[in-house]
Chain A
Amino acid sequence: MAASPSGYSRMFFKLRKYANKSQSLYHIDSFNLVIRTIWTSGSRTQLQPKVHTKSLPQMVGVVGLEIHAQIQSTSKLFSGSHVRFLAPPNSLVSHFDASLPGTLPVLNRRCVEAAVLTGLALNCTINRKSLFDRKHYFYADMPAGYQITQQRVPIAVNGMLVYSYFEGRRRDQVVTKSVKIKQIQLEQDSGKSLHDDDQSQTLIDLNRAGVGLMELVMEPEMCCGEEAAAAVRELQLILQALGTCQANMAEGQLRVDANVSVHRPGEPLGVRTEVKNINSVRHLAKAIDYEIQRQMEVLQSAGKVLNETRAFDSKSGNTIPMRDKEGLQDYRFMPEPNLPPLFVYESEASVPAGVDPAQVVVIDRLSGQLPELPSVKRTRLVETYDILQEHSFTLVVRKSTFNLCIPISPCALAELINLVESGHISSSTAKQVFQEMWKAPEKTVGQIVKEQDLWMINDKEELQKICKRIVNSHPEEVQIIRGGNKKVLNKLMGEVQRETKGRTDPVQIRAILEKMVS
Chain B
Amino acid sequence: MLGMSIREVSQALRDGRVSATELCRKCINQIQRTLYLNAFITITEETAMEQAQRTDNRLRTGKPLGYVPPFNATVVQKLLDQGAVLVGKTNLDEFAMGAGSTDGVFGPVRNPWSYTSLYREQSTEDPDSDWAITGGSSGGSAAAVASLSSFLALGSDTGGSTRNPGSLCGVVALKPTYSLLSRHGLIPLVNSMDVPGIMTRSVHDAATVLRILQGRDERDSTTVQAPSTPPSLPEHFDIRDICVGIPKEYHAPGLSKDTLAQWSRVADMFEQAGARVQEVSLPHTQHSIVCYHVLCCCEVASNMACFDGLEYGHCSKVDSSTDAMYATTRHEGFNSVVRRRILSGNYFLLKSNYKRYFVKAQQMRRLIAEDFKNVFRSGIDVLLTPTTLSDAARYSDFIQEDNQTRSAQEDVFTQPVNMAGLPAVTVPTALSHRGLPIGLQLIGQTLQDWKLLTVAQWMEQKVNFPIIHLHGESNERELNRSL
Please list the residues of chain A having a beta carbon within 8 angstroms of any beta carbon in chain B.
95, 98-107, 134, 136, 138-140, 143-146, 202, 204, 330-334, 337-340
Contact A143 B306 (CB under 8 A): yes
Q: How large is the interface on B (under 10, 10 to 19, 20 to 34, 35 or more residues)?
A: 35 or more
A334-B305 contact in complex given A102-B185, A102-B188, A105-B221, C-beta closer than 8 Å: no
Once bound together, how far apart are the Cα atoms of A146 and B301, in whole Å? 11
In the assembled complex, how far is the CB of residue B215 from the closest CB belonging to chain A, in whole angstroms?
Answer: 16
Which are the 3 A-B pairs with shortest beta-carbon distances? A145-B305, A332-B349, A337-B191
Contact A202 B349 (CB under 8 A): no
A330-B351 contact in complex given A138-B326, A143-B311, C-beta closer than 8 Å: yes
Q: Which residues of A contact B299 (CB under 8 A)?
A: 334, 337
Q: Which residues of B contact A103 (CB under 8 A)?
A: 184-185
B73 interfacial by beta-carbon distance below 8 Å: yes
Once bound together, how far apart are the Cα atoms of A101 and B354, in whole Å? 26
Once bound together, how far apart are the Cα atoms of A106 and B221, in whole Å? 6
Contact A136 B191 (CB under 8 A): no
B218 interfacial by beta-carbon distance below 8 Å: yes
- CB 8 Å contact bits of B192-226 with A (1 = contact, 0 = none): 10000000000000000000000000111110000
Q: Which residues of B contact A134 (CB under 8 A)?
A: 302
Q: Which residues of A contact B308 (CB under 8 A)?
A: 138, 140, 143, 145
- CB 8 Å contact bits of B353-366 with A (1 = contact, 0 = none): 01000100000000
A136-B305 contact in complex given A106-B221, A338-B221, C-beta closer than 8 Å: yes
Once bound together, how far apart are the Cα atoms of A172 and B357, in whole Å? 59
10 pairs, A vs B, C-beta closer than 8 Å: A102-B184, A107-B221, A136-B302, A138-B323, A140-B310, A140-B322, A143-B311, A144-B305, A330-B351, A334-B358
Please list the residues of chain B having a beta carbon within 8 angstroms of any beta carbon in chain A.
71, 73, 183-188, 190-192, 218-222, 298-299, 301-308, 310-312, 322-323, 326, 346, 349-351, 354, 358
Closest to B193 in A: A337
Q: Which residues of B contact A143 (CB under 8 A)?
A: 306, 308, 310-311
Once bound together, how far apart are the Cα atoms of A138 and B326, in whole Å? 9
In the assembled complex, how far is the CB of residue B360 from the closest CB belonging to chain A, in whole angstroms?
Answer: 14
Contact B221 A104 (CB under 8 A): yes
Q: Which residues of A contact B312 (CB under 8 A)?
A: 98, 100
Closest to B298 in A: A334
Contact A144 B221 (CB under 8 A): no
Q: Which residues of A contact B191 (CB under 8 A)?
A: 337-338
Contact B218 A136 (CB under 8 A): no
In the assembled complex, how far is the CB of residue A344 from the closest CB belonging to chain B, in whole angstroms?
Answer: 16
In the assembled complex, how far is the CB of residue A195 from the closest CB belonging to chain B, in whole angstroms?
Answer: 11
Neighbour of B354 across the interface among A100, A104, A202, A333, CB < 8 A:
A333
> Secondary structure at chain B's binding surface: helix, strand, loop or mixed?
loop
Task: Using A138-B326, A145-B306 as known contacts, list a sample of 11 further A-B pairs with CB atoms less than 8 Å apart, ordered by residue number in A.
Answer: A101-B187, A103-B184, A106-B218, A107-B221, A138-B305, A139-B322, A145-B302, A330-B351, A337-B191, A338-B191, A338-B222
In the assembled complex, how far is the CB of residue B452 from the closest CB belonging to chain A, in whole angstroms?
Answer: 24
Q: Which residues of B contact A204 (CB under 8 A)?
A: 310
Contact B349 A333 (CB under 8 A): yes
Q: Which residues of A contact B349 (CB under 8 A)?
A: 136, 332-334
Q: Which residues of A contact B307 (CB under 8 A)?
A: 101
Once bound together, how far apart are the Cα atoms of A340 and B179, in whole Å? 11
Q: Which residues of B contact A144 (CB under 8 A)?
A: 305-306
Q: Which residues of B contact A340 (CB under 8 A)?
A: 221-222
In the assembled complex, how far is the CB of residue B445 from the closest CB belonging to chain A, in whole angstroms?
Answer: 21
Q: Which residues of B contact A107 (CB under 8 A)?
A: 221
Once bound together, how far apart are the Cα atoms of A338 and B221, in whole Å? 7
Q: Which residues of A contact B304 (CB under 8 A)?
A: 145
Closest to A201 in B: B319
Q: Which residues of B contact A136 (CB under 8 A)?
A: 302, 305, 349
Once bound together, how far apart are the Cα atoms of A334 and B186, in whole Å? 20
Closest to B325 in A: A140
Once bound together, how far apart are the Cα atoms of A321 and B311, in whole Å? 32
In the assembled complex, how far is the CB of residue A77 from the closest CB belonging to chain B, in whole angstroms?
Answer: 13
Q: Which residues of A contact B218 (CB under 8 A)?
A: 106
Neighbour of A330 across the interface among B184, B192, B350, CB < 8 A:
B350
Once bound together, how far apart are the Cα atoms of A65 and B304, in whole Å? 34
Contact A106 B219 (CB under 8 A): yes
Closest to A332 in B: B349
Once bound together, how far apart are the Cα atoms of A95 and B306, in whole Å? 12
Closest to B347 in A: A332
Contact A104 B220 (CB under 8 A): yes
Q: Which residues of B contact A140 (CB under 8 A)?
A: 308, 310, 322
Neighbour of A337 across the interface among B192, B219, B306, B354, CB < 8 A:
B192
Q: Which residues of A contact B73 (CB under 8 A)?
A: 102
Most central of A99, A105, A139, A333 by chain B CB within 10 Å = A99
Q: Which residues of B contact A202 (CB under 8 A)?
A: 322
In the assembled complex, how far is the CB of residue A103 from the closest CB belonging to chain B, in whole angstroms?
Answer: 7
Contact A99 B306 (CB under 8 A): yes
